[in-house]
């Protein structure tokens, strides 16, 4: 069940019907409840979901380090999402039906470069 904090337009939290209210980074958001996927999985979808599962299982182990190491690099993403994006793009590669985990490319901490003005 959803709850409302503050006034009617602010602070919605929880699920009401097909609407979900969430609090993230000091802001409240309302979004639609995710529908179950009913279409058949294509080979490309299976590849991507496999990469995602592999990245998720690895990042789950080092999550406390990711929160610190990617904190300044995130921009609008969370530190965990920034790390997940990097893993999917640079670390895990598909080779046919097998996935390669390029351990030399793993970065647990990133820093923003400051430009001179």
Q: Which of 52, 115, 53, 58 is nearest to 88 (CA)?
A: 52
Nearest to 10 by CA among 31, 23, 78, 76: 23
List pLDDT tens digits, range 43-92.
888 888 889 999 999 999 998 888 888 877 667 778 888 889 989 999 99
Read off the pTM: 0.62
| More reliable by pLDDT, 101 or 26 | 101
CA distance 38 to 36: 6
């Amino acid at each position: 069940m959803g709850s409302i904090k503050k006034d009617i337009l602010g602070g919605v939290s929880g699920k009401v019907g097909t609407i979900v209210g969430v609090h993230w980074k000091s802001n409240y958001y309302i979004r639609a409840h995710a529908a179950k996927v009913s279409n058949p999985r294509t080979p490309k979808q299976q590849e991507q979901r496999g990469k995602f599962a592999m990245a998720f299982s690895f990042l789950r182990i080092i999550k406390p380090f990711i929160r610190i190491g990617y904190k300044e690099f995130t921009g609008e993403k969370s530190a965990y999402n920034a790390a997940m994006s990097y893993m999917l793009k640079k670390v895990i590669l598909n080779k046919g039906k097998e996935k390669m985990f390029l351990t030399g490319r793993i970065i647990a901490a990133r820093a923003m470069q400051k430009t001179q003005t």
